[in-house]
Chains A and B, each alone.
Chain A
Amino acid sequence: MSEGTALLEVRDLTVHHGQLRALSGVSLSVFPGDVYAMIGANGAGKSTLLRAIAGLHQPTSGSILLDGTDVARLRPERRVAEGIVLVPEGRRLFPSLTVEENLLVGQSHARPGPWRIERIYELFGWMRDRRGQRAVQLSGGEQQAVAIGRALVANPRVLLLDELSLGLAPVVVRRIYQTLPEFLASGVTVLLVEQDVSQAMQVASRVHCLLEGRTTLRGPPAELSPERIEGAYFGLAGPNGDQPGHGGAES
């Protein structure tokens, strides 16, 4: 699945929050059709990475290439036009707007593409009947679905999903992840952050583990043993975990 050129490439990205170094020289390549999952403990820098790719954090150094073009200096709204769209942590719907208005805002600067509001209503059947409700009146899972819909109608090339499962019941999370194949089939590539490692391992074509802002492990889930992931997640293993597919991994 790694043939051809990367759709999204992050090279040696370092991001600071004030004095704190949140990301140290992180690199990754996401290929078309990938579901690329970032895993790691709280504070590992996963969300910072996604926010930096979306343009909400200015990197100290490094580059972010979309189809070979560096977008690291573009404002967030320009990156949306280039095809990078983030579903932020905590959903961040517009609370005083209705469901439909939230989707309309998502569509207001959309690239041409297959996703329309009508198609979101088909994907999430309940949404059409409740389109006139204010976003705050929805449950967490429903809000997450609207947030995904709002991002999809912009017709992203790369969809960034930050902690979809945060604060949601497992059954709700499973239902949201069940819609993932539908985005992929439409040509959207996904880079996601997931707290729940087993969930990430199920959906991802590649996983990438961060620990304190550094890469500790990456590779296809099938090649990574639970022990290596545990080691990379908690920082118990040596730093040699940084080789994708290195050291035979049974699963």
Chain B
Amino acid sequence: MSWVNAIIQGILIGGLYALFACGLSLLFGVMKVINLAHGDLAVVAGYVALGVIAVTHVPAVWSFVLVVPIFAGLGYIMQRTLLQAALNRSVLTTLLVTFGLSVVIENGLLQFTSANSHALDIGSLVSDSFSIGSQITIAYLLLVIFVVAVGVLLGLQYFLSSSRQGRLIRAVADDREAAQLSGADYRHVFGIAAAIAFGTVALAGLAFGMYSSFDPTIGTNQLLLFAFEAVVIGGLGSLWGTLAGGILLGVVQQIGAQINAADQILAGQLIFLVILVVMPQGLTGRRAAA
């Protein structure tokens, strides 16, 4: 059944979308920052990985060991400096600042790396697959990415619900001032949340770079859009919603592609619009977005 295959492929790719989206959702949930540079950061992670691989000769698959911590640190620093400075002015300012950041990143990459597309070379892994029956073929890489994405979301959920730092993140998201009155420095907590968001988007960028190819403009043209759609479909503020949103987006895109290869992206946008109209809170949205 080619339809079953399309659905399975959609579920697997949906995991990657959810991995892209969870950082976006976290930044919005905790500090009300809509990070328009989110997709570009994923692309930068791809280029940084190329640099790391060229210098250290680590296999591309293991590049995340260096790139993710680098991005987590970058996220903390960016939050404590640029984003916090924007937040101190107004939430709207953060929108302008991240939009500006997106433009700067994209044009910087065009300037210094050319518009050519790149991929992270993982050798034969990219095409290795196994078959179930005659119609269903599952690529190991996509399966691994899906498992990693679900694992990251599970880990993040556990961290937020059970650790001291996670509890502080939720407290700050609820009421920044009350958290200060309990002795928590909300700017540091914001920094931690940004570190997680940047780390996860870097991981997603690397996964995408292995699965497909990237160029300087794909961050805004595709990745940011897919992440936004996954978050909105799933409902803000819920990691499981984000996973569900990513999977639904992936499945609908694959079904669209099954009907007509050119309709893949369009199908995704349509389900996004339908969800917005029919259930604006998203699949799992409990809290009304203020």
- Residues on A lying within 8 angstroms of B by beta carbon are 54-56, 75-77, 80-81, 85-86, 88, 92-97, 101-102, 104-106, 108-110, 150-151, 154
With A104-B164, A108-B164 known as contacts, the answer to whether A97 contacts B183 (CB < 8 A) is: no
Residues of B within 8 Å of A108, CB to CB, are 164, 167-168, 182-184
A95 in contact with B174 (CB, 8 Å): yes
Give Cα A76–Cα B178 distance, bound, in whole angstroms: 10
Q: List 27 A-B contacts (CB under 8 A).
A: A56-B180, A75-B180, A75-B185, A76-B180, A77-B180, A80-B182, A81-B183, A88-B177, A88-B178, A88-B181, A92-B177, A94-B170, A94-B171, A94-B178, A95-B174, A96-B170, A97-B167, A97-B170, A97-B174, A101-B171, A105-B184, A108-B182, A108-B184, A109-B184, A110-B183, A150-B182, A154-B183
Closest approach, in angstroms, between the C-beta of A162 and any C-beta of chain B? 10
B179 in contact with A105 (CB, 8 Å): yes
Nearest 10 interchain pairs by C-beta: A109-B183, A80-B183, A94-B174, A92-B178, A76-B180, A105-B171, A94-B171, A106-B182, A77-B185, A77-B183
A94 in contact with B175 (CB, 8 Å): yes
A76 in contact with B167 (CB, 8 Å): no
Give Cα A76–Cα B183 distance, bound, in whole angstroms: 7
B174 in contact with A86 (CB, 8 Å): no
Specify the chain A residue showing the minimal Cβ separation from B180.
A76
Residues of B within 8 Å of A80, CB to CB, are 180-183
Give Cα A151–Cα B182 distance, bound, in whole angstroms: 7
Specify the chain A residue showing the minimal Cβ separation from B183.
A109
Specify the chain A residue showing the minimal Cβ separation from B186.
A77
Residues of A within 8 Å of B186, CB to CB, are 77
Given contacts A75-B180, A77-B180, A92-B175, 14 further A-B contacts (CB under 8 A): A54-B181, A77-B184, A81-B183, A88-B177, A92-B181, A94-B174, A94-B175, A94-B178, A94-B179, A101-B171, A102-B171, A108-B182, A108-B184, A109-B182
Give Cα A77–Cα B189 distance, bound, in whole angstroms: 12
A56 in contact with B184 (CB, 8 Å): no
How many residues of B sit at the interface, in one of the four size bands?
A: 10 to 19
Most chain A CB inside 10 Å of its own CB: which residue of B170, B171, B185: B171
Is chain B's interface secondary structure helix, strand, loop, or mixed overall? helix
Give Cα A13–Cα B186 distance, bound, in whole angstroms: 27
Give Cα A87–Cα B226 distance, bound, in whole angstroms: 43
Give Cα A226–Cα B141 distance, bound, in whole angstroms: 81
With A95-B174, A104-B167, A105-B171 known as contacts, the answer to whether A86 contacts B184 (CB < 8 A) is: no
Q: Mark B158-201, 1 if CB is under 8 A from A, else 0.
A: 00000010011011011101111111111000000000000000
Specify the chain B residue showing the minimal Cβ separation from A54.
B181
Tell me which of B170, B171, B181, B287 contacts A86 (CB under 8 A): B181
Specify the chain B residue showing the minimal Cβ separation from A84.
B181
With A101-B167, A105-B168, A108-B164 known as contacts, the answer to whether A96 contacts B183 (CB < 8 A) is: no
With A96-B170, A97-B170 known as contacts, the answer to whether A105 contacts B177 (CB < 8 A) is: no
Give Cα A77–Cα B184 distance, bound, in whole angstroms: 6
Give Cα A97–Cα B174 distance, bound, in whole angstroms: 9
Give Cα A94–Cα B179 distance, bound, in whole angstroms: 8
Give Cα A92–Cα B168 distance, bound, in whole angstroms: 15
Closest approach, in angstroms, between the C-beta of B161 and any C-beta of chain A? 9
Specify the chain B residue showing the minimal Cβ separation from A81.
B183
Most chain B CB inside 10 Å of its own CB: which residue of A94, A101, A154: A94
A96 in contact with B181 (CB, 8 Å): no
Tell me which of B164, B175, B179, B181 contacts A85 (CB under 8 A): B181
Closest approach, in angstroms, between the C-beta of B279 and any C-beta of chain A? 21
Give Cα A93–Cα B185 distance, bound, in whole angstroms: 17
With A77-B184, A104-B164, A109-B184 known as contacts, the answer to whether A97 contacts B171 (CB < 8 A) is: yes
Give Cα A238–Cα B168 distance, bound, in whole angstroms: 50
Give Cα A117–Cα B184 distance, bound, in whole angstroms: 18
Specify the chain B residue showing the minimal Cβ separation from A101.
B167
Give Cα A96–Cα B287 distance, bound, in whole angstroms: 10
Closest approach, in angstroms, between the C-beta of B144 and any C-beta of chain A? 34
